[in-house]
Chain A
Amino acid sequence: MLKNLVIILMASVLVNNYVLSRFLGVCPFLGVSKKLDQAAGMGAAVIFVMLVATAATWPIYTYLLSPKYEYLQTIVFILVIAALVQFVEIVLKKYIPALHKSLGIYLPLITTNCAVLGVTLNNITDGYGFLESMVSSLGAGLGFLLAMVLFAGVRGKMEGAEIPKAFKGIPITLIAASIVSMSFYGFASVIENMFA
């Protein structure tokens, strides 16, 4: 049981990294990764929202939608996530203003982040139980944070580099992302052999 959970966690952090191998949440990955502190803030907010969203959508799907109204999955999930993000923002603003200050501006951005909707949908498709779903969401969030922080470091190094004119800006960022993604590519066989 525990072994299973560890495998799910490691697999979603390293092997099936949401940004670098499943391509979910690429927009914030490229957009908000210019500075390290922003990247970390965004990553933390994503972990938080993913956990809350999974905690809400898994029971809704299992006890309300399944098996009769499965086709409503997409609509219900996106609405629940959007409502939750709004709700969390209001609560944070009222009760924990310090946290709201550091995470607040990232929260609205996360509503339409495909990684959050993606992880909740994937948990259902993969047939995970509640605990497994939470662990896989935590892994997805941690993987997102890891990718963001690593990539912010890489972008920092690029600032002084001389780049061909056509590649300036977005193209060179994507090429750098390609190299970061390649480094994660090597983890594929690590998980299979971890407990062998």
Chain B
Amino acid sequence: MKNNLRVLLNGFVKENPVFVLLLGTCPTLATTTSVVSALAMGLAAAAVLICSNAAISLLRKIIPDKVRIPAYIVIIAGFVTVVQMLMEAYLPSLYEMLGVYLALIVVNCIVLGRAEMFASKNTVGASILDGAGMGLGFTLALLCMAIVREVFGAGSFAGMEIPFISDYTVPILVSPPGGFFVFGVLIALVSALGKKPVKEEFGCEGCPNASLCKGECGKEKA
């Protein structure tokens, strides 16, 4: 039981996929201009992550090792399509807002990375917990980014205007350059507050392509 809790909490803080593992940077930058879209993106990704982790863990003994990456991609793409269809039907305004980024959950490194690193080696229960922890950690990180960007960039929170702050907004925070800037400052903050320094490079650890390129991209770098 204690172990299960640790798997769940791991994704929140110690191995936060965005701020510590540095995965899934694209949606982190693109969908955090408002709190609502960040929350929607985070929860959509979490739903896909939980389902795909469960399915891949169930099939882990059946999928041949050689074709496992394409097999994972098909499973993930299937769940992404399900989420897309559900959102289009019941939350059309959010579907419009997220646009192409919803479909791009397929190539989100977090989802594929967890399939490769966790779900393919662990039991179904643990994989679901891992998916939930990572998904919620992702949502949490997106929310942190979005709160900074929306409150100080647009002077509102989830669409509601905040008095006083809305008179002194910094509009560049909601623009693309502001996205990079806020992300950089938040990672610096995490590394200043945490005991362990944030890793210095985008390395092969955690990269779902690592098995394909066999560390060659890292070798080239050195």
Task: Give the B-binding residues of A (Cβ under 8 A).
Answer: 20-27, 30-32, 34-35, 38, 71-75, 78-79, 82, 105-106, 108-109, 111-114, 117-118, 121-122, 125, 164-175, 177-179, 181-182, 185
With a CB–CB cut-off of 8 A, which chain A residues contact B26? 23-27, 114
Q: Is the CB of B78 within 8 A of A75?
A: yes
Tell me, yes or no, whether B148 is within 8 Å of chain A by CB: no
Inter-chain residue pair count (beta carbon < 8 A): 149
Q: Which stretch of B6-14, B37-45, B106-114, B126-134 is in the interface?
A: B106-114
Distance, CA A31 to CA B81, complexed state (A) = 29
Name the contact of A170 in the complex, choosing from B22, B78, B189, B213 (C-beta under 8 A). Answer: B22
Q: Is the CB of B109 within 8 A of A27?
A: yes
Tell me, yes or no, whether B168 is within 8 Å of chain A by CB: no
List the B residue with the shortest CB-CB distance to A73: B103
Q: Is the CB of B184 within 8 A of A170?
A: yes
With a CB–CB cut-off of 8 A, which chain A residues contact B70? 79, 82
8 residue pairs of the A-B complex, CB under 8 angstroms, read: A30-B25, A72-B81, A74-B80, A78-B106, A105-B216, A114-B108, A174-B187, A175-B185
How would you classify the secondary structure of chain A's contact residues: helix, strand, loop or mixed?
A: helix
> Chain B nearest CB: distance from A32 CB in Å?
7
Tell me, yes or no, whether B84 is within 8 Å of chain A by CB: yes
With a CB–CB cut-off of 8 A, which chain A residues contact B107? 78, 112-114, 117
List the B residue with the shortest CB-CB distance to A177: B180
Q: Is the CB of A171 within 8 A of B184?
A: yes
Name the contact of B191 in the complex, choosing from A78, A82, A108, A171 (C-beta under 8 A). Answer: A171
Distance, CA A166 to CA B81, complexed state (A) = 40
Q: Is the CB of B212 within 8 A of A108?
A: yes
Q: Is the CB of A171 within 8 A of B104?
A: no
Q: Is the CB of B103 within 8 A of A178?
A: no
List the B residue with the shortest CB-CB distance to A75: B77
Q: Is the CB of A112 within 8 A of B191?
A: no
With a CB–CB cut-off of 8 A, which chain B residues contact A31? 201-202, 217
Q: Is the CB of A117 within 8 A of B202?
A: no
Distance, CA A179 to CA B175, complexed state (A) = 12
Q: Is the CB of A32 within 8 A of B180?
A: no
Tell me, yes or no, whether B162 is within 8 Å of chain A by CB: no
Q: Which stretch of B56-64, B117-125, B150-158, B192-200 is in the interface?
A: B192-200
Name the contact of B189 in the complex, choosing from A74, A112, A117, A166 (C-beta under 8 A). Answer: A166
List the A residue with the shortest CB-CB distance to B211: A108
Given A38-B220, A75-B81, A82-B73, is A108 in contact with B104 using a C-beta cutoff of 8 Å?
Answer: no
Q: Is the CB of B184 within 8 A of A21?
A: no
Name the contact of A121 in the complex, choosing from B73, B103, B172, B200 (C-beta under 8 A). Answer: B103
